[in-house]
Structure 1
Amino acid sequence: MLRPARDEDLDAMRAWRNHDEVRRVSLTQHVITPEEHVGWWERTKVDPTREVLIYERDGLPSGVVTFFDIEDGKAWWGYYLDNAGLEERGAMFPAWISIQREAVKYARDVLGLTQLDGETLASNASAVDFNSRQGFVEVERYPREVGGATIEVIHSRKIFEGK
């Protein structure tokens, strides 16, 4: 289930985002400070081109989905999970599948998008493969500085048919 993020979710969202495995596959890999996170949240929650959702699994907050640059039926997106909590519950893999499917459905059915774009580190082979199986098509590959190194990033896109 996806629901809008609230102020009381802020500490959990930052803790999940700062998990070593989440940072390792993210485009920004530094540890996010409380001040940085609060600043992002204050800007984000009043920005009409952004939407942040909490993914719940078995009634527990378990991840975050962000949609940004929402305009004219198009948007970019990203997501991350509560790796520590889901691993402890033995639910990491099903949550990973579920959060993406729910987010894509939300993008199409609730936001009414015709196009959804995302970026994935080329080295994150499992995410690249899963995106492909979910109908995302590679648009381009390009070098980008991430974590102090230049790495390859894949820009992929899903077009919602019938929109």
Structure 2
Amino acid sequence: MLRPATDQDKEIVRVWRNHPDVRAVSLTRDEISPQQHENYWKSLRGNESRKVFIYERDGRPAGVVTFFDIDPSAKRAMWGYYLDNDGLTRTGELLPAWIEIQRQAVRYADDELGLDVLEGEVLDANAAVRRMNKRNGFEEVATDQREIDGETVTVHTIRRTRPDR
């Protein structure tokens, strides 16, 4: 289940985002300080172009889905997600949660946000996510080189067009 993030979720969102495994596959790898996160969290208030959701698994918070650059008139947005890697690894649920969070996010984009186009970015080295993206109807539509922490990496833009469009 996806539900809107609340102020009570603020710290777990930061902790999950700062997990070394999450940072390793992110486009920004710096650890996010409490003040940086507070500023980000405040920027969400009243911001209709960005929405943050908590993915719940068996009634417990287990991940984050962010839709951003939401353009209702064009019916398109960008998105990203990450999980509570430590908690889900402890319970043996990391892989099923990873599969389910993406499915729920795509369904939410289609049914609740009414998006026709959902885009994101994924590192070339993140082969498992790239395979999952393809299984869920995303295509790699562009590739570029970026510098992240002094390293040149390949980044793919992915796109999913709603099937009934």
Question: Please, what TM-score do these two structures have when normalized by structure 1?
Answer: 0.98
Q: 1:95 is matched with which residue?
A: 97
Residue identity matched to 1:34: P
Using structure 2 for the length normalisation, give the TM-score. 0.97
Match in the other structure for 1:34: 34
Q: Deviations over 1:106-155 (max 9, x none)?
A: 00000000000000000000001110111101111100122221100000
- Contact persistence 1:27–1:146 (CA under 8 A): yes
Which residue matches 2:51? 51
Give the corresponding residue for 1:137: 139
Deviates more, 1:37-46 or 1:24-33: 37-46
Please name the residue that 1:70 is paired with: 70
Q: Any stretches of 5+ residues in structure 2 without a counterpart?
A: none
Aligned residue for 1:117, secondary structure, equals strand
Task: Please list, as runs of the form range in 1=range in 2, the aligned pairs for 1:3-14 lying within 5 A after superposition.
Answer: 3-14=3-14
CA distance in 1, matches of 2:150, 2:6: 32
SS of the residue aligned with 1:113?
Answer: coil
The separation in 2 between residues aligned to 1:20 and 1:64, in whole angstroms, is 16
Number of the residue aligned with 2:126 = 124
Provide, for residues 46-102 of structure 1, a one-character-per-residue CA deviation record: whole Å limited to 9, x for no partner. 211011000000111000000001102000000000000000111000000000000
User: Could you say which residue in structure 1 is the equivalent of 2:159?
Assistant: 157
Question: Runs of at least 4 residues of structure 1 off by over 4 A?
Answer: none
Gaps of 5+ in 1: none
Q: Report the residue type matching 2:109 in the other structure.
A: A
Asked if the contact 1:2/1:55 (under 8 Å) is kept, the reply is yes
Match of 2:106 among 104, 107, 123: 104
Measured in 1, the distance between the counterparts of 2:50 and 2:150 equals 27
Question: Number of paired residues?
Answer: 163
| Whole-angstrom distance in 1 between the partners of 2:37 and 2:4 | 17
Does structure 2 conserve the Cα–Cα contact (< 8 Å) formed by 1:45 and 1:51?
no
Give 1:106's aligned amino acid: Y
Aligned to 1:43, what secondary structure does the other structure show? helix
In structure 2, distance between residues paired with 1:76 and 1:119: 8
* % identical equivalent positions: 51
Could you list the per-position Cα deviations for residues 6-47 of structure 1 after superposition, in whole angstroms to 9, with x for gaps in the alignment? 011010000000000000001110100000001011112321
